[in-house]
Amino acid sequence: MSTFVQIEERTPKPRQPTGFALWELGFRPFYLLASIFAASSIGLWAAQFAGLLPRAYLQGPIWHAHEMLFGFVLAVVVGFLFTAGRNWSNRPTPSGATLAALAALWVAGRVLVLTPLGWVAAIVNTVFPLAAAIALAIPFVASRNRHNYFFVGLLLLMSVASLLVHLTQLGVLALPGWFGIQLALDAVLFIMAVMGGRVIPMFTNNGVPHAGATCAPLVEKAALGLLLALLVTDALRLDGAPLAIVAAAGAAAHLRRWSLWRPWKTARAPLVWVLHAAYFWIPVHLALRALAEFGWVAPSLATHALTVGAVGGLIIGMMTRTARGHTGRPLRADRSDVACFSLVLLAALVRVGMPMLAASQTIHAVLASAALWSGGFALFAVCYWPVLTRARLDGKPG
């Protein structure tokens, strides 16, 4: 009688990299800076209310909106585009000293708006997206990657929008204070819709067997075309019925687009369902914009459906996925990742849902949402600090 002895082979755990890699690729510094800023900006917002920053150049809602868009969101967009742009063009994007200089320029912008140096803050915050656009254009033009030129154009639009905000604040232009902010919101919305259409159905079919996510050409054209129409409508300041019609049609188109991606099949794949849950806030935002034009809901609810729900949700989902993928880690969310997703998406639900159900609870909703938001991004910063600052697990560059 033969005796078989089973020997268990233990696969050695990969050795944790120790080399400092923060400046290897764009996502590393900008994801880290953005998450730290997203968590800490709520404290700065409270300091403004407490009167602790009386000489700040930007104050109140304008500071909050400017910093969320041209600080937090723009940092993530630039980090993502520098990373994806290298793959799209097969050419190098900023790294090393150049990347560090761009990150320092971004940090300077965040500091200067809290000082009395208004003109210096205006220049720095206008130059940052312009410099990022030039840095992205170089590999795209060299590789004739015309398909992605529009990302350069959108970064240039962000630079113009930032300039409009500052020139209005400095009294040079007689425009509504929110004008440049709204153009930037529309540009960010378009960027998210384009990137969502590229990656969400692909990630769904790759991560969920037999998901069957599809795209319909007519729906795609309508969804993106209506967002461009919305941007033009806002640029021309066509309020009232024209804006409401465009926003309502956009809401219907994006809801249909989202349904074609089969979101209900993604419940067991957190790296996928977070993107679907976040994208759902886009048609919600557009529907609320339409309702706000008739005075049926507060405009701030539409804004926060976009910024907290869609922007915050897509950013936390994409930062997690790309940080894992570009550092050689498995594309699988752990418990801390799911906690980050849940906190940010719950922040959106509280910020928009509570005031709609009970307007008297708005202050409580704002405070609770802020705590959830800060907790989600603080947790990401803590968990991904070693991931973003160390070399890839597989030893590859980047």
User: Both 68 and 214 in a single domain?
Assistant: no
- Confidence band for 60, pLDDT divided at 50, 70 and 90: confident
Residue 25, H or E segment:
none
- What pLDDT was estimated at residue 177? 76
Q: 188: closest CA among 29, 74, 41, 276? A: 74
Q: Residue 306 has what DSSP assignment?
A: I
Of 128, 147, 177, the one marking the end of a domain is 177
pLDDT tens-digit map of 301-357? 999 999 999 999 999 999 999 999 999 999 999 999 999 999 999 999 999 999 999
Q: Summarize the confidence of residues 229-253 as an average pLDDT.
A: 96
Q: What's the sign of the alpha-carbon dihedral 284, 285, 289, 295?
A: positive
Residue 91, H or E segment:
none
Residue 306 within a domain: yes
Residue 68 and residue 306: Cα distance in Å, rounded? 12
User: Both 36 and 97 in a single domain?
Assistant: yes
- What pLDDT was estimated at residue 353? 96
Residue 149 within a domain: yes
User: Both 237 and 377 in a single domain?
Assistant: yes
User: Both 160 and 214 in a single domain?
Assistant: no
Looking at the predicted structure, is the pLDDT value of residue 12 above 90? no
Question: Please, what's the b/e burial string for 45-54 (b: 16 or more CB within 10 A of its CB; e: otherwise)?
Answer: beebeeeebe
Residue 227 within a domain: yes
Burial class (CB in 10 A: 0-12, 13-18, 19+), 192: buried
User: Both 197 and 259 in a single domain?
Assistant: yes
The residue to which tokens 């990630």 are assigned: 203
> Domain range holding 398?
192-398
What size, in residues, is the chain? Answer: 398
Looking at the predicted structure, is the pLDDT value of residue 223 above 90? yes
Of 144, 177, 210, the one marking the end of a domain is 177
CB 280 within 8 A of CB 258: yes
List the structure tokens of 61: 């809602």
Residue 12 and residue 36: Cα distance in Å, rounded? 34
Of 177, 203, 238, the one marking the end of a domain is 177
The residue to which tokens 């928009």 are assigned: 352
C-alpha pair distances (Å), 339 with each of 37, 196, 320, 342: 19, 22, 12, 5
CB 151 within 8 A of CB 136: yes
Q: Between 335-357 and 362-389, two packed helices, what is the crossing angle to 10 degrees?
A: 160
Q: Is the entire prediction scored with pTM above 0.85?
A: yes
Q: What's the sign of the alpha-carbon dihedral 116, 131, 185, 165?
A: positive
User: Both 149 and 238 in a single domain?
Assistant: no
Q: Between 241-260 and 281-293, two packed helices, what is the crossing angle to 10 degrees?
A: 160
Amino acid at 319: M
Residue 151 and residue 98: Cα distance in Å, rounded? 20
Residue 14 within a domain: no
User: Both 86 and 165 in a single domain?
Assistant: yes
Q: Summarize the confidence of residues 253-264 as an average pLDDT.
A: 98
- What pLDDT was estimated at residue 175? 85
- Confidence band for 17, pLDDT divided at 50, 70 and 90: low
User: Both 104 and 242 in a single domain?
Assistant: no
* pLDDT above 70 as % of the chain: 95
- What pLDDT was estimated at residue 18? 59
User: Both 64 and 204 in a single domain?
Assistant: no
The CA-CA-CA angle for residues 310, 315, 321, to 5°, reads 130
Q: Report how many domains make up the chain.
A: 2
User: Both 254 and 365 in a single domain?
Assistant: yes
Beta-carbon count within 10 A of 201 CB: 19
Residue 391 within a domain: yes
List the structure tokens of 122: 């205006």
Looking at the predicted structure, is the pLDDT value of residue 14 above 70? no
Residue 248 within a domain: yes
Looking at the predicted structure, is the pLDDT value of residue 4 above 80? no
Q: 113: closest CA among 173, 175, 70? A: 70
User: Both 390 and 248 in a single domain?
Assistant: yes
Residue 220 within a domain: yes
User: Both 96 and 40 in a single domain?
Assistant: yes
**Alpha helices, DSSP H only, in the chain?**
27-49, 60-66, 74-89, 96-112, 118-142, 149-169, 179-207, 217-235, 241-260, 270-279, 281-293, 299-304, 313-325, 335-357, 362-389
C-alpha pair distances (Å), 5 with each of 2, 8, 362: 10, 10, 67
List the structure tokens of 315: 């950013």
Residue 341 within a domain: yes
The average confidence (pLDDT) of the chain is 92
- Confidence band for 16, pLDDT divided at 50, 70 and 90: low
Residue 374 and residue 308: Cα distance in Å, rounded? 11
Q: CB within 8 A of 344, min separation 6: which ones? A: 308, 312, 313, 316, 372, 373, 376, 377
